[in-house]
Amino acid sequence: MADDPIRRRVTVTGRVQGVFFRDSLRRRADSHSVAGWACNRSDGAVEAVFEGSPDGVARLVEFAKTGPRQAEVDSVDVRDEAPEGLSGFDIR
C-alpha cells in the first residue's frame, strides 16, 4: 500500500561535513515523522537512512540533494532497503 513505510539509504558527497548537514537532516526528519540516522564518513561523505511514509522519505531525499545553505552537494546515491521499524532520528 502507498502508506506502508519505506526505507532509503543515501550517501551525499561534496562539502557536506562541518556545515550542519546531519542536524539539518534530523530537524527535517522530525518535522516529517521520518525515522533513521545520519553519520559523517571518514571519506568526507554523509551517509543517512530515512524510514517512514513515502512522502516524508521523498522530502528528505530531495533535501539531501541540496542540503543546508552552507553545503555544496556534488552527488547523492540513493538505495532502496527493507524497512526495519526504526523510531526517532539519530546523529551518529
> Which is catalytic among the residues 8, 22, 28, 59?
22
Say whether 22 is catalytic: yes
Say whether 40 is catalytic: yes
> Which is catalytic among the residues 7, 27, 28, 40?
40
The three three-digit cell numbers of residue 6, written as one number: 519505506
- Other CB atoms within a 10 A radius of the CB of residue 32 amount to 18
Q: Catalytic residue numbers?
A: 22, 40
